[in-house]
Amino acid sequence: MAGRVIVFGSLSQDLHLPMERHPGTGETVMSGDIEYRFGGKGANQAVAAARAGATSVFIGKVGDDPQGHEYLRRLAAFGVDTCRMEVVPDAPTGTAIIYNDATGENMIVVAPGANHRMALADVDRLDDLTPDDVLLMPLELRHEVIIAAVERARERGARIVLNMAPYAALPAEVLAGCDPVVVNEHEAGLLARAGLEVPSLLTTLGARGSRWGEIEVPSREVSPVDTTGAGDAYCGTLAARLVLGADRRAAMTAAAEAATACVLHHGAQPPLPEDEPATADAR
């Protein structure tokens, strides 16, 4: 019986601002109409894992506000297990402001809100991890919490997939326990400059595909609409295929296709069938 993908991470309401080009320092540019969507690396990856066929469990926190409650309903509709989510009264649901230019490239500013209420005590929610499970984590939580989660997963024998986004120079012994550490080319360069060697390193190469050790997998060439969330689609699908028994090449191939599909729609997550382009309740 296959294990689960347990995502320990963040979520956010995404506010998208479309524009012809990104502003320079001190410059004001005009935007198109604001659009309200759903994101956060943890939630994006949990949705991707569920869509790839895995049992996907998300552990995180939302504010006790309309955005948070709407997000919980949305995750459940995608098949993500939200039983370990917590609604907190003392912080808003996380928010990200995403600036999309005419080429599909983006710039993102995140206000973590309830995501930064994740504390060391929350690591206890990982106590039922087994060697059949994969713990998937991006780095949008407090780093001491992430390090403790890696240690707990290692104690339980679970596989750890760590997505080093946004980049942080975690201790080498933490990275050594992950299989794989997933980075993009920029993050790979930062690792190299920090002198950190990672035994199992998977580098995503944008339109050129991805590389894990000696294995290289190409990506299908497309004209991107919006690159937001492509890395998360890759990581969530990769973890799902690994927990379902795929080898590295097969998991990377499925992950690359998921990332390609992601850049062909607006927003980090695909719409639910009943969704309007901007869900009023999410505001």
- Provide the pLDDT for residue 275: 52
Cα–Cα distance for residue pair 70/88, rounded to 1 Å = 14
**What 8-state DSSP symbol labels residue 210?**
E
Confidence of residue 273 (pLDDT cuts 50, 70, 90): low
pLDDT in tens, 64-101: 999 999 999 999 999 999 999 999 999 999 998 988 88
Q: Is the peptide bond before 89 cis (omega within 30 degrees of 0)?
A: no
pTM, two decimal places: 0.89
How large is the angle between the packed helices 230-243 and 248-262, nearest 10 degrees?
Answer: 150
Domain ranges of the chain: 4-18+35-276
232 is catalytic: yes
pLDDT in tens, 149-200: 999 999 999 999 999 999 999 999 999 999 999 999 999 999 999 998 899 9
> Given a cut of 50, is residue 282 above it in pLDDT?
no
The CATH number corresponding to 4-18+35-276 among 3.40.1190.20, 3.40.720.10, 3.90.1300.10, 3.30.70.1450 equals 3.40.1190.20
Mean pLDDT across the stretch 51-66? Answer: 97
Q: Find out whether 116 and 142 touch, Cβ atoms under 8 Å.
A: yes
Per annotation, catalytic residue among 81, 179, 232, 281: 232
